[in-house]
Amino acid sequence: MKPIVSIIMGSTSDLPIMEKACQFFEEMEIPFEINALSAHRTPREVSEFAQNAQNRGIRVIIAGAGMAAALPGVIAAETTLPVIGVPIKGSVLEGLDATFAIMQMPPGIPVATVAINGAQNAAILAAQMLALADDKLAQKISTYKAGLKQKIVKANNELANLPYKFKV
């Protein structure tokens, strides 16, 4: 089975955040790969990765990075595949630096940006992109989202049954 999504992170220290994307892809049965590449420490490897991703069957790239967060933009500059950037919290600016770096791409080099540490939403967005051409995956995502609704309904029912005397 070949991967169709690539998860890239600037450092393995980002793994606890990026694993949320891995878990979602596992649940949706979407084949993926995961690698650490640094736009600053391994620029040649990043360029080679981005230029060859589509030929290897990759259809969406998720790139997580903190601080200067150049990785998603550098990848987007080298491929026509959709790139989703995940700003990673970890610097003195609490991830805002990474968010702005990923969001403020020049015209012609778009990077979709999710919330700080939002790897799970990046995975859901990637899956929704893939589902445009995959009815089975679209149904899985629909079922997943219906499950989210059920969690809130259940939680609200539990709140209604809290045993507080002055709760109306």
> What is the DSSP annotation of 69-92?
--HHHHHHHT-SS-EEEEEEP-ST
User: Is the predicted pLDDT of residue 2 greater than 90, yes or no?
Assistant: yes
Q: What percent of the chain has pLDDT over 70?
A: 100
pLDDT value of position 53: 98
- Backbone dihedral angles phi then psi of residue 65, each to the nearest 5 degrees: -155, 150
**Res. 92 pLDDT band, cuts 50 70 90:** confident
Is residue 65 within 8 Å of 14, Cβ to Cβ?
A: yes
Average model confidence (pLDDT) across the chain: 96
Which class would CATH give 5-135? alpha beta
List the Cα angle 29/31/35 in 5-degree steps: 135
Give the model confidence (pLDDT) of 10-20 as tens digits.
999 999 999 99
**Res. 80 pLDDT band, cuts 50 70 90:** very high
For the chain, what are the domain ranges? 5-135
Is residue 59 within 8 Å of 130, Cβ to Cβ?
A: yes
User: Is the predicted pLDDT of residue 91 greater than 90, yes or no?
Assistant: no
Is residue 122 within 8 Å of 115, Cβ to Cβ?
A: no
**CA–CA separation, 60 and 28 (whole Å):** 15
